[in-house]
Structure 1
Amino acid sequence: MVNGRNVERRTILKAAGATAATLGMAATTGCGGDGGASADGTVTIRYAWWGAEDRAERIKKTIALFEKKYPKIKVKTDFQPYLDFWKKFNTQASGGNPPDVFQNAVGFLRKYDAKNVLLDLSEQAEAGNLRLDGFRAGLEKFGEIDGKLLGVPVGSNSMALVIDKPVYTRAGVKPEQGWTWDEFDAGMKKIRDKTGRAGDSGMYGVMYLYDLYLRQNGKAFFTEDGLGFTEADLTEWWTKAEKGVKEGVYADPKKVVQIKPKSALAGELAAGEFTWDNFTVRYSAEGKSEYALAPIPTTDGKKTGQYLGSLMLSASKRTQHPKEVAQFIDFMVHEPEVAKIMGYDRGVPATQAQYDAFKPTDPVNKAIAAYEESLVEAGVLEPITPHPSGADICESAFLRIAEELGLGKRSVDDAVKQFFTESKTALGT
């Protein structure tokens, strides 16, 4: 999701792992939770997520509400930055001791299902402990893989083009639903020529944008068991990106790296940047301009290839408390008060009840809600591309190799070959 941006935004997701004390206790039981119930019937479940301190504070407030409603269920919490979370989670999963419930993303579902880590929540839904009604735009299907319910969405987002509105206005560029890539390219040149700024931060490593482009052309980044495009396809994409940098319509990657962690858009190196819609909050916080969400360019003026992405909650197959875990997930995705606390921290609320409960008053979050509503009304949303086991490794490779290409450390041909070599190993193809 990125283009030389900091890890926070490039991976779109930040993560949480378990504390040493919790790990030590869980290791003695060899399973999730506290290994059983206390004398009064109280059980303890472990909940892990990724994110910064502000997310942690919000989540702790929601847990307090949950424990008030379910006094016999106690929740032990762990959180860490994204990369640290997955390192620790891999260790926990390998040792048969993952958290009872944890934040997850679509790129990891098949991977951990194949490792026999994830609990199929369908049984709990059938038992009435987890409601699957009331979700927006078909999001209840987002965590279904091969007939199993492996995750339940807590929020949604979609790819967008975040723009510096005054710069676009000054250049006379008006992005509208259905505009084409040719119109986008022409707009980038107008911005460069009329404002002296690069039109976009560059598209070297925006894997999810490339996925949309492929979907617009009848392909996809992933199939259920591998990559859905060829070396020739990627060569064309990265050649265009490299040419855009040389022509000054995309920001110089070397300068983008120099101003990290600030983005190229907020740092005024570019007039726009492709990213997830709910990341817009960040630009307003770190930049001085007015930012807006613009539609994704199309190949034919109609098909954007877009879908709603989502963070979700998954459960461990080894948990001793599947009912309590299901009740916890149900509360977190349906309880209106949770939405009032979390806001759009993890995306736009996935259920209608939570969506209605939180009405943003600030311009940025209002724009995010309006953008997702416009996608639904325009009828452009499609089912998400399947992600095979190993997709997370492919995404990391795409990001890293694209940055090396942008910095001049690799040629296009070398970058393409390296990506396919690493991906084939990760996917076992």
Structure 2
Amino acid sequence: MFSKKRALATAAIAAGAALVLAGCAGGSSETPGGTPTFDPDEKVTLNMSFWGNDVRADLYNQVIEAFNEEYPNITVNTSFLAFPEYWEKRQTEAAGGGLPDVMQFDYSYLRQYSENGLLLDLDPYLGGIIETDPLPENILSIGVVDDKTTAIPTSTNAWGLYTNPKLLEEAGVDDFAGGDWEDYTDWMGEITDASGGAIYGGTDYTGRIQNFEVQQRAKGEDLFTEDGEANFTKDDLKEFWEQGDATRDGIGLPAQKAEELLPLSGFDAGLTASELTWDNFGAGYLANLGEGFTELNLIAPPVTEEGAKDLYLKPSMLEAVSAKTKHPEAAATLVNFLINSPESGEIFGTNRGLPASETALEAANLDPISQQIKDYEASISDRLGDAPPVPINGYGTLEQKFLEIGKELGFGTMSVDDAVDQFFSEMDVVLNQ
């Protein structure tokens, strides 16, 4: 266990001015030499927020109870909301300068809050209060914005291909044996044909920006540069969306049927035999499929180029500290416990995703689907590259636009050329706002 009394270096946090957010640096007690100190006997109160439900709230309460056994003088007050309401409240607090000391954080918001000086630079605490040995470098680098570590991943997931063995058996088709994207489309067609249309091989995968990202990364190109500029051309996007012509022509689940199934997808409605998505969706799929479906297969996505580092580990969520916290060392201590402690691994399990910390993962009691995800992420190690730059401001808007255009293409109400022009117009607005 780490020492609660380790001396640490500290750094000032620059105030941000963009958007409506306003941040300023947090403070810490210092010795005359300038080194921050952490008095474990000082009574400290921290406010901590997370999104989730009553189940997750109970787990957090259990972890904090374990935390207080070791740090009885640090009181932690928690609050939680559903995901949309959680971020609405954070925006309000950010504008008023009152963010919680410690926050469960989402990757999509990390750049926005970091660039506005709202999150504490955690680099001075790495290797000290925050243990780094259990966290691989590619995990730690996920939380870096403008050369500062402003959040630490609690858990990871990766892009994968789920298939349904029960439906494949009904169709009389073997599981996808691997290959490129054309091979995958052909395999989907076999399922649709063999079942007489009762089961579809999958959906039009070109409606998901992540599949475009995988193909671009196979060329060695992330979707956006570190400076927030687009790293792909209209021709790249046109070529990708044209791949969907075959799946939109009878092979994939029809767009109208997909719309009627919402909020379920064709896969967890039991109408498609495969789906490309984040690997931590497995438990939800099984729950929605219901009785008669006891297992799923999880395999690597199609390959664009052998040997390419086209996949990466993405944080399911992260932990961050407010730049204005009055107790940065105590907050960092809580972050370390939430991420690295065996107690957090044992109590949370995979509620927050597959634990990123080796010590937490070793202590987690993995159910079959969680063990499957762990084995899957190990199996794709040769395809895992560095995570792309932290999402640009407005990435969520572009992801949604990509999905909406994909639906238009599925309904046949928009040509590929018009789709490309519309997306680039939207992207121009987002990147230059």
Q: Is TM (by shorter chain) over 0.5?
A: yes
Contact 1:32–1:97 under 8 Å retained in 2: no
Q: TM-score, normalised by structure 2?
A: 0.83
What's 1:314 paired with?
Answer: 320
Corresponding residue of 2:80: 79
**Does the residue aligned with 1:185 lie in a helix, a strand or coil?**
helix
Normalised by the length of structure 1, the TM-score is 0.83
In 2, are the aligned partners of 1:298 and 1:304 still within 8 Å (CA)? no
Give, in angstroms, the shift of residue 304 of structure 1. Answer: 5.7
Show the 5 A alignment for 1:23-422.
41-125=42-126, 128-136=128-136, 138-169=138-169, 170-176=171-177, 179-195=179-195, 196=197, 197-224=199-226, 225-245=228-248, 247-287=249-289, 288-289=292-293, 290-303=295-308, 305-310=310-315, 311-360=317-366, 362-376=367-381, 379-386=382-389, 387-407=391-411, 410-422=414-426
Q: Structure 2: which amino acid aligns with 1:64?
A: E
Amino acid at match of 1:239: E
Q: Determine if contact 1:32/1:98 at 8 Å carries over to the other structure.
A: no
SS at 2:207's partner residue?
Answer: coil
* RMSD of aligned alpha carbons: 2.4
- Relative to structure 1, the CA distance from residue 166 to residue 89 in structure 2 (aligned partners, 3 Å threshold; closer, same or farther) is same
Task: Go from structure 1 to structure 2 and tell me whether the alpha carbon gap of 1:316 and 1:159 turns closer, same or farther (over 3 Å shift).
Answer: same
Structure 1 stretches lacking a partner, 5+ long: 1-29, 34-39
SS in 2 for 1:78: strand
Per-residue CA deviation, residues 222-255 of structure 1 (Å, 9 max, x unaligned), is 221222212222223233325412x222212221
**Aligned-partner residue type, residue 399 of structure 1:** L
- Offset of 1:32 from its aligned partner? 9.0
Name the residue aligned to 1:425: 429
Residue identity matched to 1:357: A
Q: Which has the larger radius of gyration?
A: 2
Contact map agreement 1:179 1:301 (CA 8 A) in 2: no
Q: Confirm or deny: 8 A CA contact 2:26 2:328 kept in the other structure.
A: no
Q: Give the match's secondary structure for 2:384.
A: coil
- Number of residues paired by the alignment? 388
Q: 1:66, CA displacement in angstroms?
A: 1.6
CA distance 1:90–1:205, change in 2 (3 Å): farther
Distance 1:52 1:69 in 2: 26
Is the CA contact 1:31–1:320 (under 8 Å) kept in the aligned structure 2? no
Alpha-carbon distance in structure 2 between the residues aligned to 1:241 and 1:59: 43
Q: What's the offset of the Cα at 1:403?
A: 3.6
Gaps of 5+ in 2: 1-23, 28-40
Quote the offset at 1:418 in angstroms. 2.7
Shift of 1:200: 1.0
> Residues 323, 403 of structure 1: CA spacing in aligned structure 2 closer, same or farther, 3 A cutoff?
farther
Inter-CA distance 201–49: structure 2 relative to 1 (3 Å threshold): farther
Kindly indicate whether the alpha-carbon contact (under 8 Å) linking 1:215 and 1:305 is maintained by their aligned counterparts in 2. Answer: yes
Give the Å deviation of 1:270: 1.1
Q: Distance in 2 between matches of 1:181 and 1:297?
A: 5
Counterparts in 2 of 1:172 and 1:303: CA distance versus 1, 3 Å: farther
Deviation at 1:427, TM superposition (A): 1.9
Contact 2:50-2:80 within 8 A present in 1 as well: yes
Q: Which amino acid aligns with 2:403?
A: L
Q: Distance in 2 between matches of 1:405 and 1:318?
A: 47
Call closer, same or farther: CA 1:32–1:144 in 2, change over 3 Å: closer
2:20 corresponds in structure 1 to none
Letter in structure 1 aligned against 2:344: V
In structure 2, relative to structure 1, the CA distance for the partners of 1:265 and 1:150 (3 Å cut) is same
Kept in 2, the 8 Å contact 1:296–1:304? The answer is no
Q: Report the CA distance between 1:106 and its aligned residue.
A: 3.0
1:90-111: CA deviation from partner (whole Å, max 9, x where unpaired): 2211222222121223332222
Aligned counterparts of 2:386 and 2:247: Cα–Cα separation in 1 = 31
Secondary structure at 1:248's aligned position in 2?
Answer: helix
Q: Which amino acid aligns with 1:141?
A: S
Q: Is the 8 A contact 1:199 1:271 kept in 2?
A: yes
CA distance in 1, matches of 2:413, 2:279: 31
Which residue of structure 2 aligns with residue 14 of structure 1?
none
173 and 261 in structure 1: CA distance in 2 versus 1, 3 angstrom threshold: same
